[in-house]
Homo-oligomer: A and B are copies of this chain.
């Protein structure tokens, strides 16, 4: 249920409505909007009894939400959610595209810094790198763990980039939350509801990747799990779905971008690296992702893809990423978007080092 407050309702009136909702055993999610504040009521006890809520001061109307997703829905919040990072101009969901780049896994300080230097210089404001890797085989490289997180923290200081990295369970989330700027929940964990709830109690924005065979509704419900625990800074990420097609590792479903944007206020980015699994398809599909209206890209870039411990086949060479950024800069304005300038500071830093 949605409690829509009057345009002139006071903060105290909103607080009173929230207290009332909590006293009934539900959870209240107040969301200030451009016109008015709405309070979403959630809880797993079925139908909410409107009761005296309707009569409270400042309440304009009660709206029953028939969709399974509530907090995620544009019914709850009409304006796009823009996720900002205090002290920087980086943002996800605003007019500027969020370019998130870096290697699949952090393998060493050298590799991470080499990647960061290049992607930062090319204009990426976000660095991606795995410290905890969900691998199909228990015998494959599983990531450097906390050491990987420490390398990324150093990297943030040096290059001024925001760090996006995956948590694979409650234990790793505990650490990722301390080091990272955005906590990534991987495709294989999109319906690990326990982890989603834990992410909903973390203080950092959460990026939820679409599961390999997740429907649009399941994708949105994963975000709803995070939001239902009080963390409203959620980013969705399309990374390809599993089909019969065998010319790419997954089938990148770009139509989900306008579909999400129609139903939800949350930002959505696209990962063409996992979405195709083939280096030579990453740039064309990145162009397509921007053209379709995505809020950003998540791209794998490795200083030496042929030596990568994981996903080398789909990682771009740094020069290819430069070229990709050039093309993205050309398409962005067509869809009313901007891209951060190439980092001259970092270029200078590199020259002097």
Contact = CB atoms under 8 A, between A and B. Distances in A.
A297 interface: no
A141 interface: yes
Copies of this chain in the oligomer: 4
A263 B225 CA distance: 38
Interface in A216-236: 216-218, 221, 224-225, 228-229
B141 A44 contact: yes
A137 B285 contact: no
Interface string A189-227: 101111101000000000000001101111001001100
A100 interface: no
Given A242-B213, A245-B253, A288-B288, A168 B188 contact: no
Interface residues on A, range: 35 or more
B259 A255 contact: no
Contact of A138 (B225, B243, B246): B225
11 contacts: A44-B140, A44-B142, A70-B139, A138-B228, A189-B191, A212-B212, A215-B247, A247-B256, A251-B255, A291-B331, A331-B334
Given A168-B193, A213-B213, A291-B291, 16 more contacts: A135-B193, A139-B228, A169-B169, A169-B170, A241-B251, A243-B251, A245-B256, A251-B251, A254-B284, A258-B284, A287-B292, A287-B293, A288-B288, A288-B292, A291-B292, A327-B334
